[in-house]
Amino acid sequence: MAYLSIHDDGPVRVIRIARDERLNALNLELVDELVAALEAADAEEQVRAIVLTGGDKAFAAGADIAEMAEASAVEMKLRDQFRVWDRIRGVHKPVIAAVRGFALGGGCELALACDLVIAGERAKFGQPEVKLGLMPGAGGTQWLARRLGKARALELLWLGEPISAQEALALGLVNRVVPDDACVQAAVDLGKRLAEMPPVALRCIKEAVYQAMDTALADGLEAERNLFYLLFATEDAREGMRAFMERRKPTFRGR
Ligand code: CAA
């Protein structure tokens, strides 16, 4: 792992992007490593939630401009560097971004691709690609249009100016804002709370919520119902309901 540092805090896998000297610019190798690390965490049973973070100054300052500056359109098409990002959406476990400093361009898209976002109070979110003569390529137009609506998405994307953590909170892009030095711990604590929840139910809820962003309401409601009924096949649902009836704390095992 050239660009990541990884450790576990109990059931929470903490993945830190550690290319600080380039403000965590996301080069091809780094993104490959990151996707592999997310998939590995997803596959390991003892990991119940994943925290993705960066450095103090930058969560990530975007795709690596040096890698793209001289590339032709044909080279970019053949390289197809953002296809691998689709695999981030395939991670079933909760992924929480802990964002300190800059989350710009691909860095903002990476935060938006996570399920939940905890922001440090000096974090800055933005899609400055327009200032490079570009546009987002790793999902920024889609995430922002869906989550903010057309007008606010276009303003952010057209002007390319970053917004503060507080503004991102008001827009619903982040879950909470905390002091910078408490950011990673707050994300880990949230991960630990999720780790106490029944994993199969968390997975089905995630699937249903992402489907809601992507389908007609009737299809989404149908899918949600079917996932709900499916959970009755899990031991955890039985345990959760029984524990409620017996007025005790449930123990969930992911089965
Ligand atoms: N790619 C490559 N290198 C980058 C980088 C990036 N996205 N962002 C920062 N760096 C490098 C700088 O070149 C610099 O390297 P050197 O020390 O070798 O010169 C180093 O990181 C530190 O950066 P700065 O000196 O620029 O730091 P600063 O504090 O003065 O400015 C900043 C910080 C405002 C974030 C500024 O670095 C910046 O504007 N970065 C680019 C942001 C951007 O445009 N991102 C979008 C990229 S395109 C994209 O992401 C497409 C997509 O949809 C995925």
Handedness of CA 107, 93, 32, 8 (dihedral sign): positive
**Residues in the ligand 1 pocket, defined by CB under 6 Å:** 22-23, 25, 61-66, 102, 104-106, 109, 128-129, 132, 134, 136-138, 140
Which residues share a beta bridge with 104? 126
Model-level pTM? 0.93
**Whether 129 is catalytic:** yes
- Tell me how far apart the alpha carbons of residues 72 and 68 are, in angstroms, rounded to a whole number: 8
pLDDT digits (tens, 9 = 90+) for 215-235: 887 887 788 888 888 988 989
Nearest CA to 113 among 135, 89, 132?
89
- Tell me how far apart the alpha carbons of residues 176 and 189 are, in angstroms, rounded to a whole number: 13
The CA 102 to ligand 1 mean position distance, Å, reads 9
User: Residues of the chain with pLDDT > 90: what percent?
Assistant: 84
pLDDT digits (tens, 9 = 90+) for 182-192: 999 999 999 99
- Tell me how far apart the alpha carbons of residues 18 and 24 are, in angstroms, rounded to a whole number: 6
